[in-house]
Structure 1
Amino acid sequence: MFEKTIKQACDMLHVHNDLTKFEDTIIKGVSIDTRKIEKGNLFVPFKGENVDGHQFVRQAIEKGAGAALWDKNVTNPPEDLPVLVVDDPLLALQSLANQYRHELDLKVVGITGSNGKTTTKDMVASLLGTKYKVHKTQGNYNNHIGLPLTILALPQDAEVAVLEMGMSGFGEIELLSEISQPDAAIITNIGESHLQDLGSREGITKAKLEIVQGLKEDGLFAYYGDEPLLQEQVKDLSLGRIETFGRSEANTIYPVTIEMNNDGSQFETSLYEGQTFFLPVLGQHNIHNALAAILIAKEFDVTVEGMKEGLKSLKLTQMRMETSLGKKGENIINDAYNASPTSMKAAIGLVSELDGVNKKILVLGDMLELGDNEEEYHLEIGRMIDPGSIQQVYTYGRLGELIAKGASERFEAENVHAFQDKKELAVMLEKQTQSGDLVLFKASRGMKLEEVIETLTN
């Protein structure tokens, strides 16, 4: 991880105060939370709407922090403490991350997209991990604060960093790309998330393509080639090396054969015909993510056997197609970390295709940040659910009720239930489910459907 003397840190930043008496103090690692301070950390305070982190600087150092940053616009920096007075602590954090990234003998893979970026991150890390010392974004540390913290936490012997890049508006991914300077970049797809902020899918495409702004001149750009909006906007970019993945044979890599079962998928690809890959994750959309990971693994000279092993041993971040067994023997799929119309349709399609189960039950909640057309998107989801493949639909939330309304156009009334109370939903599910049933949970993260899952599993 980042380790410097205070003098070295001052040389990396524009520091306004004299820290000569502290210059030999060692800083090791970075923290923004006094509850998680470790010995030697550089504490970075932020000014929020309700709380100013500067008031916790002394507490952080008393807990073992080696030093702290301090915003020059905040008065009375403590002269008895090792505080580095800078123009802006956030900009200082980002600058340190960028400089540390260049100090390391390191390759960076940047990943963005409306859906599937976390799963693709996990896949890329797993495949590259068969050959390199790989570190990846943890949890949701994929924004203007989280990504710099991820870089500054990288061990000095790290060989590859796989960094997820999220955003809610224009300019955010460009910043992350400029900080991390990726050697390879992926766009998984273009969906509807953040329509509220970006106005259209064309706007989302433009924002996601900002990932190439910091891409190395000889770096590889890989994107979902079946998306017309990406095809159109990529034409206007001056990029050296571009490869695509998807179902169409026009892509650099596409699946030649696919065989799906309840344990995962087996597939062959156009690049390695005759070689069968096993993916222990449900859903055809995840095969597309795996194709992106294979492109990156090929770029990094991972052998085909290494790719196979990386996919076979894949471990996904929680609540991404996470399977578990309920206390009655129900098969539960928890895909409730995030949701958009694209990802919800994919998840419903997956459940519809699975065999060897009793009843198939959907538990769907609100999809957030969809902008002015959010109600129509939810109605559309309900209308596309096939009663020939799905037996029961349960919804939660104000917008979820519109999914139920759409489903009611095709389902018998007793097979569609809308709830505004999670406890009532959980009680109903407990009564209705039995051994051998398959239950999919899908909603935006803010709906916290895992609380209902806990009722079925504990």
Structure 2
Amino acid sequence: MSLSLHNIIPVIHAKWLGVDETCLIDNVSIDSRSLQNNNGTLFFALKGHNHDGHQYIPDLIDSGVRHFVVSHIPEKMAHKANFLLVDNTLDALQHFAAFYRKQFDFPIIGITGSNGKTIVKEWLNFLLSPEYNVIRSPKSYNSQVGVPLSVIGINERHNFGIFEAGISLVGEMEKLEKIIQPTLGILTNIGSAHNEGFASEEEKITEKLKLFKNTEVVILQKNQKNEALLPPSVKTFTWSYSDTSADVLITEKGNSSLEILWKGEQFLVEIPFHDKASEENAITCLMVLLHFGYNQKTIQERIANLYPVEMRLQVKNGINNCTVIDDSYSSDYQSLKIALDFLEQHKTHKKKTVILSDIFQSGFPVEELYAKVSSLLLYNKIDTVIGIGEGIGAHLKDYPNFISFATTQDFLLQFNSSHFSNETILIKGARSFQFEEIVVVLEEKTHETVLEINLNAISHNLNFYKSKLKPTTKMMVMVKAFGYGSGSFEIAKLLAHHKVDYLGVAFADEGIALRNAGITMPIIVMNPENSAFAAMVAYNLEPEIYSVSVLKKFTVLAQQKNLSNYPIHLKLDTGMHRLGFEEKDLDELIGLLRNNNLISVKSIFSHFSASDDLQYKDFTLFQIRTFDSMSQKIMSELSISPIRHILNTSGIYNFSEYQFEMVRLGIGLYGVGNDPEEMTHLEHISTLKTIILQIKNIPVGDSVGYSRKFIADKPTRTAVIPIGYADGIPRSWGNEKGYVVVNQKKARIVGNICMDMLMIDVTDIDCREGDTVTVFGKSPRVTELAEVVGTIPYEILTSISHRVKRVFYKE
């Protein structure tokens, strides 16, 4: 990309205010935190319900960015940069992307549907890349923001495009159609995702099909209802298992073999998958190859080589206190930019290492490509680069601390674990380089049980609760108890990325661990022990003060340390009767704080006892009135204006009108609400998985497990899985009260749960040793497990043992 501001101004209907409209733009950004922003960046200051890119413009100017698309110019910034003033910055980004798309004339596939969009896109890239230089949406960039960013990635060397489009509301697809401008359309499976944004399934399908209003042909499974909703001018190319009016008839022959009947000719295709969803996605890809005239032999060879698509960036614990970011199946220029931003957001160590393979299909000449890659690595301050492949080895040899290997096997042969320690390592390679073998040697060795944490879901839940707040309301998020069992370091990094105002921990050692992991944002210690005061000050942790005696002890320490205005947070007891100052304590408290310049009251807060239960609404409102009265007295007599906060997760949902200046988000961030309606808005963040170790056939009369609690009354097939109560599974979940999921089917737990293992009934389930088992996730949800065993989700989540490996991922 190389466009002048002068040419961009009329495209986005902007008024130009600045210093030089002839400047060239070679990069577009919406993320102020990206280290890739530079003086050639055009920054679109997007505004959302709870974010505003305009507030980061001063910092961006300080870092060298000079060109901004804005809906208003921040105060005192008018003559410091080029500003393109528009009514709506998102509309401007979309208009710019639509203009940019029109600069290129080659086939563009637009994909929509409920499921399978990203997999079909990735498979088509694999199938078509021998003939075409393909530009495609990175990861699942299919939203109102993701689509324009994807299209802006096109360059002059590309000659084929594949972009996916996802919508959740009426009116969104018309905007995406103008940006993608597809010449060929694909409709994948239509399911229940995002149904809540539409009045009916017909309305949702109608909206999705608007992507195809100007396409030449649409590929879809034969469906008269869907076809009737297409514009009459659009041709279809359909397939079916049974409808002989379809253009292509598919017959399943068993063992993943399909017979294809097209234009009177038959041929067989082997698909390397057994599940229905993968089969249908592969058929969609086959239809594209038929549409473009590929011969039978080529289709057979390429379809047979399709592979599982990993759509996630995963964060894992590595050897020698390293953190490993696994993106080992993808190596293209656009996704490298995303992965480097992800690395910066989730680094746990100052030292950053990238293991990178040759990059294919960039659209750039080789010299230009690796010059851009080198610049990206420098912008992101990568300390060491390990290049694997002949291309990267030849062109990045002058990069500081560059180490080159011809092949992955060469790297593994020379691998020494002592070469890596206390660093964050991004592993990013094209599929042919088999970088998963590098992940294996760098990943910390633990047993097969894994708690997967979905960072996208955490962001979604955070934004849901933010949507209940005024834009000026601050947010504190609780990451105590190892982030409610999910892992406090990674959660804290994500929250820092989202610029929440405070983190809350229970004890000083939790806060110290976050500081050692590089978290610099304010941290409040909610249960400070007197013995930890000195350590808290050393690590810049802010204590909750809940009694006169604690205040006096901290004041003595402040005198000894010669502190000045050290931040503290006053806890008031308004009815919980756990910790906190009562009304009778206020006069003495105020006396101790008056003219005390050693400490500074940063916030005043209290704790609800029943905000989750509306039968106690009157008591909750009494607590709010009491808190307001007590805090007002402290503020008035001390002439201070601290932050006040009383709303917790259920308080935000049920009593959002009492926000004061800040709220505290806890269990809601982790996908657990206290109201059925609230739960419909939350995404589950954690999935506990393990594998089948062994399968046994139990004859009638034989028992399973300790104390012979299960005795087979019919021939029974059981599977042993390596997870037990030492991993955090309640023992009371056993003996057929609970179940796990194997290959999408429920398998009841039989017998007593052991310390490290449990047994399940798989009599009617097609499974084998090594298959994945889901203990909780989408089904069963952790709330269901908690209800059956008579506890709360908090207890289940915080009980998951530290020996269970945490894997964080981003879609």
TM (norm. structure 1) is: 0.69
Q: In the TM superposition, what are the counterparts of 1:261-280 in structure 2 within 5 Å?
A: 265-271=256-262, 275-280=267-272
| Aligned twin of 1:221 | 218
Aligned letter for 1:414? I
Give the CA deviation at 1:313. Answer: 4.7
Aligned partner of 1:254 in structure 2 is: 249
Deviations, residues 123-155 of structure 1 (Å, cap 9, x unaligned) = 222222221111211123101110000001122
What does residue range 53-452 of structure 1 map to in structure 2 within 5 Å?
A: 53-72=53-72, 78-213=78-213, 215-216=214-215, 219-225=216-222, 227=223, 229-234=225-230, 237-250=231-244, 251-260=246-255, 265-271=256-262, 275-311=267-303, 312-314=305-307, 316-318=309-311, 414-415=749-750, 431-432=757-758, 436-439=769-772, 441=774
Number of residue pairs aligned between Structure 1 and Structure 2 = 386
Between the aligned partners of 1:256 and 1:338, the Cα distance in structure 2 is 38
| Counterpart AA for 2:4 | T
Deviations 1:268-326 (A, max 9, x none): 32238554434334412222212222222333344444434543154624269x99999
The one-letter code matched in structure 2 to 1:286 is S
- How far apart in 1 are the matches of 2:755 and 2:747? 18
CA contact under 8 A between 1:134 and 1:162: conserved in structure 2?
Answer: yes
Counterpart of 2:260, as a letter, is: T
**1:204 positional shift:** 2.5
Instruction: Write the distance in 2 (CA, Å) between the matches of 1:337 and 1:231.
Output: 37
Pair 1:81–1:303, CA change in 2 (3 A): farther
Instruction: Indicate if the aligned counterparts of 1:3 and 1:27 stay in contact, CA closer than 8 A.
Output: yes
Q: 2:12 matched to which residue of 1?
A: 13
Aligned to 1:26: 24
1:131 aligns to what SS in structure 2? Answer: coil
RMSD: 4.8
The question of whether the paired residues in 2 share the 8 Å contact of 1:130 and 1:310 is answered with no
SS at match of 2:79: coil
What residue ranges of structure 1 are gaps of 5+ in the alignment?
Answer: 340-365, 375-386, 397-402, 418-426
Residue aligned with 1:254, SS? strand
**Where does residue 532 of structure 2 map in the other structure?**
none
1:270 maps to a residue whose letter is: L
Aligned-partner Cα distance in 2 for 1:113–1:432: 39
Q: Secondary structure at the match of 1:178?
A: helix
Superposition deviation, residue 193 in structure 1: 1.5
Q: Distance in 1 between matches of 2:252 and 2:102?
A: 41
- C-alpha distance 58-94 of structure 1, shift in aligned 2 (>3 A): same
Contact 2:4/2:24, CA 8 A, preserved across alignment? yes
Relative distance call for 1:129 and 1:291 in structure 2 (3 A) is same
Q: 1:143·1:167 contact (CA, 8 Å) conserved in 2?
A: yes
Contact kept in structure 2, 1:199 and 1:371, CA below 8 Å: no
Q: How much does 1:55 deviate?
A: 1.8
Contact 2:261-2:267 within 8 A present in 1 as well: no
What's the CA shift string for 1:140-189, capped at 9, x where partnerless? 31011100000011222211111111111112122211221110111112
Residue 51 of structure 1 corresponds to 51
Q: Secondary structure at the match of 2:248?
A: coil
Asked if 2 retains the 8 angstrom alpha-carbon contact of 1:277 and 1:308, the reply is yes
Per the alignment, do residues 303 and 154 of structure 1 end up closer, same or farther by CA in structure 2, a change over 3 Å counting?
farther
* 1:400 alignment partner in structure 2: none
Q: SS of the residue aligned with 1:205?
A: helix
Q: What's the secondary structure of 2:3's corresponding residue? A: strand
Displacement of 1:119 in angstroms is 1.3
Alpha carbons 2:55, 2:74 under 8 Å: kept:
no
1:365-386 deviation line (CA, Å, top 9, x unaligned): x9xxx999x8xxxxxxxxxxxx
Greater displacement, 305-314 / 39-48: 305-314
State the Cα deviation string for residues 66-93 of structure 1 (Å, max 9, x = none).
Answer: 5111114866652221221222211111
Secondary structure of the 1:175 match is helix
Q: Which moved more, 1:311-320 or 1:101-110?
A: 311-320
Name the structure 1 match of 2:501. none
Q: Partners in 2 of 1:179 and 1:10 — Cα distance?
A: 18
Q: Contact between 2:5 and 2:25, CA under 8 Å: does it hold in 1?
A: yes
Q: Residue in 1 aligned with 2:626?
A: none
Classify the secondary structure of the residue corresponding to 1:148: helix
For the 8 Å contact 1:173–1:210, the answer to whether it is kept is yes
Identity of paired residues, percent? 23
Cα distance in 2 between the residues matched to 1:162 and 1:69: 27
CA distance 1:455–1:71, change in 2 (3 Å): same
* C-alpha distance in structure 2 between counterparts of 1:121 and 1:255, whole Å: 21
Shift of the alpha carbon at 1:202? 2.4
For residues 187 and 207 of structure 1, what CA distance do their matches in structure 2 show? Answer: 12
Q: 1:297 to 1:443 in 2, by over 3 A?
A: farther
2:33 corresponds in structure 1 to 35
Deviation at 1:203, TM superposition (A): 2.9
**Mapped partners of 1:3, 1:300: distance in 2:** 32
Aligned amino acid, residue 284 of structure 1: K
SS of residue in 1 equivalent to 2:78: coil
Give the structure with higher Rg (CA).
2
Letter aligned with residue 236 of structure 2:
I
Q: Which residue of 1 aligns with 2:460?
A: none
CA distance in 1, matches of 2:754, 2:68: 52
8 Å CA contact retained: 1:110, 1:186: yes
Contact 1:195 1:371 in 2 (8 A): no
* Corresponding letter in the other structure for 1:4: L
Greater relative contact order (CA < 8 Å, ≥ 6 in sequence): 1
- Measured in 2, the distance between the counterparts of 1:107 and 1:169 equals 28
Q: Report how far residue 457 of structure 1 moved.
A: 9.1
For residue 139 of structure 2, what is the amino acid of its counterpart?
G
Distance of aligned partners of 1:411 and 1:109 in 2 relative to their CA distance in 1, 3 Å threshold: closer
Q: Distance in 1 between matches of 2:151 and 2:250?
A: 34
Q: CA deviation at 1:455?
A: 3.8
Q: Is the 8 A contact 1:7 1:23 kept in 2?
A: yes
- Secondary structure at the residue paired with 1:17? strand
C-alpha separation between the residues in 1 aligned to 2:164 and 2:259?
27
- Alignment check: 8 A CA contact 1:139 1:317 kept: no
Give me the whole-angstrom Cα distance separating, in 2, the residues matched to 1:128 and 1:388.
48
Say whether the 8 Å CA contact 2:47–2:89 is kept in structure 1. Answer: no
CA change 1:391–1:12 in 2 (3 A) is same
- Contact kept, 8 Å, 1:174 with 1:211, in 2: the verdict is yes
Aligned partner letter, 2:241: R
Summarize deviations over 1:237-282 as a string: whole Å, max 9, x none.
313311112322433223234443xxxx343322385544343344
